[in-house]
Structure 1
Amino acid sequence: MTYTHSISVDLDFSEAVDQTRQALTDQGFGVITEVDMRATFTAKLGPEAADAVGDYLILGACNPTLASRALVGDPHIGALLPCNVVIRRSDGDEQTTIETIDPATMVELSESPLVREVADDADRRLKAALASMGGSAG
C-alpha cells in the first residue's frame, strides 16, 4: 500500500507552496502547522544536512468538520491528524513534488466506520486539490 498521493509540477518551490495553500483552501482545508525542514536542518544539523534534503516544507492541513467527525468516531485518531502535505524540491530538480497523506492510512489503523467515511471524504478533497494544480502523478 502506498501512503501518499503525489504529483510533480513545473513550478518553482515558492510558487508550488502558494498554489498548494490555495488548492487546500479551495477544498476546505486550512494550514494549521508548518515545518520548514531546510531551516530546521540548517539550524540543528548544519547546511550539509539541509542541502541533502533541499527545499522541504510540511504543511499540516485540517478541515475542522472532517477532523471533528473523525475524533467522534475514534478519539485516538488525533495522533494521525492533521493531514500532512509535503512540498519538496531538491537542488538540481526540474520539478517540485507535492505529496499528501493518503487518508486510507487512517482506515488501516481504526475500525470505526465513521473514520472510514471521513477518510473517503478527505481523500476526495486532497486528490481534487492535487488535480487542480495539474502536473504529473507520481
Structure 2
Amino acid sequence: MAYTINRVISNADFEEVDKRARQALADRGFGVLTEIDVKATMKKKLDKDMSGYRILGACNPAMAWEAIGAEPRVGAMLPCNVILREVPEGIEVSAVDPVASMSAVENDELSQIAGKVRDQLSEVVEAI
C-alpha cells in the first residue's frame, strides 16, 4: 500500500514550492503547526550534507477535532506531514496518506475521516 500522495514540480525552485504548498494547505483549511528543515538539522547535528528536505506538519483543525472525537489517542499520529525534497527532476511534494497511516487503528469512523483528509491532501498536492 502506498503511504504518500506524490507529485514532482519541475518548474519552480524549493522556496517557491514551499510557498505554493503552504498556500494550497491554507486554501483547504490546513495550518502548518511544525516545520523541520532536515537538511539544516543533518548538517548541524551530523555534519552531513544533503539536498533540500523540509517537513511541514499540517493540521486541519476541524478534521483533527473529528478524528480525536472518534479515537482519542489518534493525536499520537498527528499532524499530517507534507515533505518537500529536492530530486533530480525538481521538487517532490509528498503528503502522508491518512488512510494508510490510520490503517492500524480499527475504527470505522476514523477510517471515514481519514478518507476525507486524504481527499483534501490530494487536492493540496495537485494544486501546488
TM-score scaled to structure 2, two decimals?
0.94
- Contact kept? 1:69, 1:114, Cα under 8 Å: no
1:116 lines up with 2:111 in the alignment = yes
Matches within 5 A, 1:1-138: 1-10=1-10, 11-46=12-47, 49-51=48-50, 54-90=51-87, 93-133=88-128
For structure 2, which runs of at least 5 residues remain unmatched after alignment?
Answer: none
Question: For the residues of structure 1 that align with 2:117 and 2:54, how far apart are their CA atoms?
Answer: 21
- Contact kept? 1:37, 1:50, Cα under 8 Å: no
RMSD: 1.1
Query: How far did 1:50 drift?
Result: 2.7
Over 4 Å off, 4+ runs: none
SS in 2 for 1:122: helix
Any idea what the Cα deviations from partners look like across 1:20-75, whole Å, max 9, x if unmatched? 000111111000000000110111000xx232xx1000000000110111111111
How many residue pairs were aligned?
Answer: 127
For structure 1, which runs of at least 5 residues remain unmatched after alignment?
Answer: 134-138
TM-score scaled to structure 1, two decimals?
0.88
- Contact kept? 1:73, 1:113, Cα under 8 Å: no
SS in 1 for 2:67: helix
Query: How far did 1:84 drift?
Result: 0.3
Question: For the residues of structure 1 that align with 2:78 and 2:49, how far apart are their CA atoms?
Answer: 26
- Contact kept? 1:59, 1:85, Cα under 8 Å: yes
Letter in 2 for 1:84: N
SS in 2 for 1:8: strand
SS in 2 for 1:77: helix
